[in-house]
């Protein structure tokens, strides 16, 4: 074969190099592949579990095709595709809001071009573990607001429940539609050095991020179309339809064609893009509290044609702001009389009021016991070791080791109210120590975990960054979990914080077929 004879590629590789005629001139410098050495020149293993590489530097089998496709691209192609993806996010208005920043609140959601891959066997374990967890937590909430047997049997301390700021005494004795308290859940998972997946926390009130999961997938399918299809990636695009079906299944009796709305706090909420996105995808109305009114314990929506009855509310407003007659009287975000309509059984609100009790970070420590109590099973997915600071021995241990631990406020989210001891200043640790002493119930502590890292694109080369995973679980007439979830990335080198509000980003998650 002469040196100027074209080299034929398979359809996948040809497409991923940006050439659709299936030919690349071997002696054309513009089309020389990046190569593994150049691609991974700054890729260092540090002892954490690496999603792509084995401890000896090899490539894990389910990443092999992705690595080969990336290495075969010509120089500059990855950067070009990254710029194209950025433009796509910009034009779609895929944003989030950062509170308390002088330079402005609205930002384009940070996105990494390289997908995080999960094998079929790994996903099977995750799916079974999350199904078990949502079932147990739903049993727990039903019991707590019912007969409270778990408290009488002293499996969970009574004062831990009643001191939780998300416990709602108004829910006691109330019959919840289909007995489903938590219809939408986003649990955060980490992978430890051993390769084991563990649950870091459960998000049961108004879990967010699913729109970014869907947007990531849409952009990725355009960025690496042939690679995506050749890998046998399980689909997630049907999530909005699954969510809609879940909400319909929870409608009040006698409402076969329920009117469903999404209740948002409004345009200034950090997840407003997601609210509009999901409402549009499901084909339902997006409403604010001022769009709703109650009469005779029935909720109506104001429309240009008059009042229209509402049967199901997908609530993205916290309990405190949902009904000024029951919770915060100064709230203008909710609807007066909503809770009484809910209590009368004339409207379904999901997730149910009071579900925040089960995602309190102190209550999290009892979830393994909760699973055992209600299901008589050991947890499929374990918890992270957690210190309850209401216990004197644990509190003293934590105070003496603040430089080694992570401390979290039990009711905060988004990376707020948190101290990462090894990265904190002496002053920050002293401030947290005083806060713990003043209100130990408000904090828990956990070890600083060296959780897994995945490949991320920086310019024209790849470096590892820490990642977690937030799958989304739907619970109506059955449990549905779309295969994947939102992989969040600590984009700053050395950082352990994946929250977008704290400098993190996200990437697409590919669950592969067998």
pLDDT digits (tens, 9 = 90+) for 74-119: 888 888 898 888 888 877 776 655 555 555 555 667 889 999 999 9
Q: pLDDT for 184-197, tens place per residue?
A: 999 999 999 999 99
For the entire predicted model, the pTM comes to 0.89
Beta strands in 173-225 (DSSP E): 184-191, 197-203
- Both tokens of residue 217? 């997938």
- Mean pLDDT, all residues of the chain: 89
Provide the b/e sequence for 313-351 (b: ≥16 CB within 10 Å).
bbbbbbbbbbbbebbeeebebbbbbbbbbbbeebbbbbb
- Both tokens of residue 194? 């051993």
Query: Is the confidence at residue 2, as pLDDT, over 60?
Result: no
Query: CA 464 to CA 338: how far, in whole Å?
Result: 48
Assigned CATH topology for domain 385-447: Dna Ligase; domain 1 (3.30.1490)
* Domain 253-346 in CATH 3.40.50.11290: yes
Beta strands in 26-63 (DSSP E): none
Q: pLDDT for 32-42, tens place per residue?
A: 777 888 888 88
Q: Where are the domains of the chain?
A: 253-346, 385-447
List, as one string, the DSSP characters of 172-227: TTPPPGGG-S-SEEEEEEEE-TTS-EEEEEEE-SS---HHHHHHHHHHHHHHSHHH
Same CATH topology for 253-346 and 385-447: the answer is: no
Query: Is the confidence at residue 8, as pLDDT, over 90?
Result: no
Query: CA 481 to CA 484: how far, in whole Å?
Result: 8
Distances (CA, A) of 456 to 185, 429, 508: 27, 31, 11
Q: pLDDT for 197-216, tens place per residue?
A: 999 999 998 889 999 999 99
Q: pLDDT for 231-290, tens place per residue?
A: 999 999 999 999 999 999 999 999 999 999 999 999 988 889 899 999 999 999 999 999
Query: CA 249 to CA 179: how far, in whole Å?
Result: 12
- Both tokens of residue 48? 């954490």
**DSSP code of 113?**
S
- Both tokens of residue 498? 């994946």
Query: Is the confidence at residue 25, as pLDDT, over 70?
Result: no
Query: Is the confidence at residue 7, as pLDDT, over 70?
Result: no
* Tokens 């707590």 -> residue: 144
């Amino acid at each position: 074969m002469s040196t100027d004879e074209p080299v034929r590629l398979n359809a996948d590789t040809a497409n991923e190099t940006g050439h659709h005629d299936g030919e690349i001139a071997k002696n054309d410098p513009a089309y020389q592949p990046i190569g593994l050495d150049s691609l991974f020149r700054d890729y260092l293993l540090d002892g954490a579990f690496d999603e792509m590489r084995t401890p000896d530097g090899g490539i894990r089998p389910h990443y092999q095709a992705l690595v080969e496709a990336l290495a075969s691209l010509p120089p500059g192609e990855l950067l070009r595709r990254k710029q194209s993806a950025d433009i796509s996010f910009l034009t779609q208005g895929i944003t989030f809001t950062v509170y308390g920043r002088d330079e402005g609140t609205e930002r384009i959601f940070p996105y990494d071009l390289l997908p995080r891959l999960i094998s079929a066997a790994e996903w099977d374990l995750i799916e079974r573990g999350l199904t078990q967890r949502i079932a147990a937590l739903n049993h727990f909430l039903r019991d707590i607001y019912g007969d409270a047997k778990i408290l009488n049997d002293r499996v969970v301390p009574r004062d831990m429940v009643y001191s939780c700021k998300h416990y709602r005494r108004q829910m006691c004795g109330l019959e919840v539609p289909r007995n489903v308290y938590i219809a939408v859940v986003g649990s955060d998972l980490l992978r430890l050095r051993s390769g084991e997946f563990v649950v870091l926390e459960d998000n049961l009130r108004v879990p967010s991020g699913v729109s970014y999961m869907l947007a990531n997938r849409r952009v990725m399918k355009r960025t690496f179309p042939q690679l995506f299809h050749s890998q046998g990636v399980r689909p997630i695009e049907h999530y909005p339809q699954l969510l809609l079906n879940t909400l319909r299944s929870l409608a009040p009796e006698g409402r076969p064609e329920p009117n469903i709305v999404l209740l948002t706090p409004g345009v200034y909420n950090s997840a407003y893009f997601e609210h509009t996105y999901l409402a549009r995808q499901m084909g339902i109305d997006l409403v604010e509290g001022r769009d709703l009114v109650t009469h005779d314990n029935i909720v109506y929506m104001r429309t240009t044609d008059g009042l229209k009855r509402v049967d199901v509310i997908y609530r993205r407003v916290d309990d405190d702001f949902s009904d000024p007659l029951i919770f915060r009287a100064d709230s203008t975000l909710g609807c007066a009389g909503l809770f009484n309509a809910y209590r009368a059984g004339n409207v379904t609100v999901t997730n149910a009021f009071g579900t925040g009790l089960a995602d309190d970070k102190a209550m999290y420590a009892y979830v393994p016991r909760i699973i055992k109590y209600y299901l008589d099973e050991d947890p499929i997915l374990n918890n992270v070791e957690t210190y309850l600071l209401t216990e004197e021995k644990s509190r003293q241990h934590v105070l003496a080791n603040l430089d080694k631990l992570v401390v979290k406020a039990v009711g905060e989210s988004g990376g707020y109210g948190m101290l990462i001891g090894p990265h904190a200043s002496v002053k920050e640790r002293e401030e947290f120590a005083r806060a713990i002493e003043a209100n130990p119930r408000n904090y828990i502590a956990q070890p600083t975990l060296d959780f897994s890292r995945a490949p991320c694109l920086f310019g024209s080369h790849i470096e590892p960054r820490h990642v977690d995973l937030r799958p989304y679980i739907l619970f109506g007439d059955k449990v549905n979990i779309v295969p994947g979830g939102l992989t969040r990335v600590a984009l700053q080198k050395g950082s352990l914080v994946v929250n977008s509000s704290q400098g993190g980003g996200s990437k697409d998650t590919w669950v592969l077929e067998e």
